[in-house]
């Protein structure tokens, strides 16, 4: 293709996608998530025409933003997808639908790439090899950006600095980070590539972050349920899903995989194998949830040979892909109810599970029973719900009048 402006190329790409019969909403998502950032980049550069070197520069820029934690993995994938589509349209004049690889290209030097490859090979066939690759690559890239062209001059200070850096952008992965760094530096010592005293940094005990998230109030639960139109097939399905979350505390993933045969209607029970723990769980099926499921199966569920209870509303009538789809169901009604959700506020589908656990604790049900109902491995996991029982905790507090008393 001859010289073409980036805007004309985006128009051509969108026409190619439209020819694949993508819906308008999906095309809009492509525009805003994949193409618009590229257009903005060219505008800031005061560049009108497509240039391969600018696309390479933008690719590296996106990868650095991801490394710094500025954009998420999902955002990175969409932006790299936009680059891939425009590059293909420019080179071939068209676009063949495919699933682009989401694996980010390495920014490491050949020296560090060799260390990464040989370390991963030494691990053998382990199931979490992707996590090891990601963390080691980030670590080696961190060393590169801090002036280390080779591994020889790396010190415990560098290890500590990387851990601090990771704790700010990926705080929930610190257990993996420390474990991987231990194995990496043990490998470097055994291969006589670097022998430093990394133990004080990587074997030091650290405090565990135990954040107790809030749950829904009864007023919020009622407000959410009022937003569901139970006269439509989709509404019947969504109402049954939310009622099931409220009454049983089942995880979103377990609701997705709930089969028609998992419900014992005669005894009003549900029997599932939990996706998270792989352990069997039997729960009583309350009348509210049971009636909602019956209404959906008889009057809203599409005719399908699928063994699963909850199906998509559009053909092909299959079960939801995963628990995220169920979480999106609740999120839609949160928005309609005017309940604002922010990160860490507990207003999620899992929040329904915490709401049930908290209510049981408030009602005086033993922690062991709460743990069994929620399918925990041990009662320890259910103790967070005690922290949410604010009124109960107040009964345990000592008054200020006891300060200064001498106890015999």
| Positions marked catalytic | 251, 276, 350, 353, 376, 385
b/e burial code for range 255-270 (CB count within 10 A of at least 16 → b)? bbbbeeebbeeeeeeb
| Contact predicate 38/10, CB 8 Å | yes
- Please tell me the total number of residues recorded for the chain in this structure: 408
| Contact predicate 333/238, CB 8 Å | yes
| Contact predicate 286/299, CB 8 Å | no
Nearest CA to 272 out of 227, 264, 10, 29 is that of 264
| Contact predicate 296/237, CB 8 Å | yes
Q: Is residue 34 helix, strand or coil? A: helix
Both tokens of 78, joined, read 């969409």
| Residues facing 66 on adjacent strands | none
| Contact predicate 323/253, CB 8 Å | yes
Instruction: Give the DSSP H or E segment for 380.
Output: none
Give, in order, the Cα–Cα distances in Å from 214 to each of 204, 247, 335, 342, 395: 31, 18, 18, 12, 20
Nearest CA to 329 out of 346, 304, 308, 310 is that of 310
Peptide bond into 316 cis (omega under 30): yes
Q: What are the residues whose beta carbons fall under 8 Å from the beta carbon of 201, sequence distance 6 or more? A: 156, 159, 160, 163
| Contact predicate 108/116, CB 8 Å | yes
Chain position carrying tokens 């590296």: 60
Q: Is the dihedral of CA 251, 252, 258, 264 positive or negative?
A: positive
Q: Is residue 280 helix, strand or coil? A: strand
| Contact predicate 104/67, CB 8 Å | no
Instruction: Give the DSSP H or E segment for 259.
Output: none
């Amino acid at each position: 293709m001859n010289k073409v402006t980036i805007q004309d190329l985006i128009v051509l790409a969108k026409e190619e996608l439209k020819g694949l019969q993508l819906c308008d909403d999906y095309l809009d998502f492509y525009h805003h998530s994949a193409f618009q950032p590229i257009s903005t980049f060219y505008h800031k550069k005061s560049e009108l025409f497509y240039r391969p070197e600018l696309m390479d520069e933008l690719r590296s820029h996106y990868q650095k933003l991801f490394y710094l934690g500025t954009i998420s993995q999902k955002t990175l994938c969409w932006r790299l997808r936009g680059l891939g589509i425009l590059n293909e349209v420019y080179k071939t004049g068209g676009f063949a639908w495919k699933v682009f690889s989401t694996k980010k290209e390495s920014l490491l030097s050949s020296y560090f790439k060799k260390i990464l490859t040989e370390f991963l090979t030494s691990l053998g066939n382990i199931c979490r090899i992707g996590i090891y690759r990601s963390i080691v690559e980030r670590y080696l890239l961190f060393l590169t950006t801090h002036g280390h062209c080779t591994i020889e001059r790396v010190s415990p200070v560098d290890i500590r600095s990387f851990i601090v850096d990771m704790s700010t952008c990926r705080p929930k992965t610190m257990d993996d980070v420390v474990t991987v760094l231990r194995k990496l530096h043990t490998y470097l010592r055994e291969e006589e590539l670097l022998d430093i005293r990394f133990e004080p940094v990587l074997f030091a005990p650290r405090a565990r972050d135990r954040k107790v998230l809030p749950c829904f109030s009864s007023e919020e639960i009622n407000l959410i349920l009022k937003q569901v139109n139970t006269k439509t097939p989709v509404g019947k399905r969504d109402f049954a899903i939310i009622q099931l979350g409220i009454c049983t505390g089942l995880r979103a993933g377990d609701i997705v995989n709930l089969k028609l045969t998992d419900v014992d209607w005669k005894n009003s029970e549900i029997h599932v194998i939990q996706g998270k723990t792989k352990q069997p769980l039997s729960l009583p099926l309350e009348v509210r949830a049971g009636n909602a499921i019956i209404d959906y199966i008889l009057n809203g569920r599409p005719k399908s040979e699928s063994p699963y209870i909850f199906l998509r509303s559009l053909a092909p009538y299959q079960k939801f892909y995963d628990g995220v789809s169920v979480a999106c169901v609740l999120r839609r009604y949160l928005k309609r109810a005017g309940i604002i959700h922010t990160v860490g506020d507990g207003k999620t589908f899992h929040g329904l599970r915490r709401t049930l656990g908290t209510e049981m604790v408030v009602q005086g049900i033993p922690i062991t029973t709460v743990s069994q109902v929620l399918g925990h491995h041990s009662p320890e996991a259910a103790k967070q719900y005690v922290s949410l029982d604010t009124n109960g905790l107040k009964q345990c507090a000592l008054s200020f009048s006891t300060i200064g008393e001498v106890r015999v």
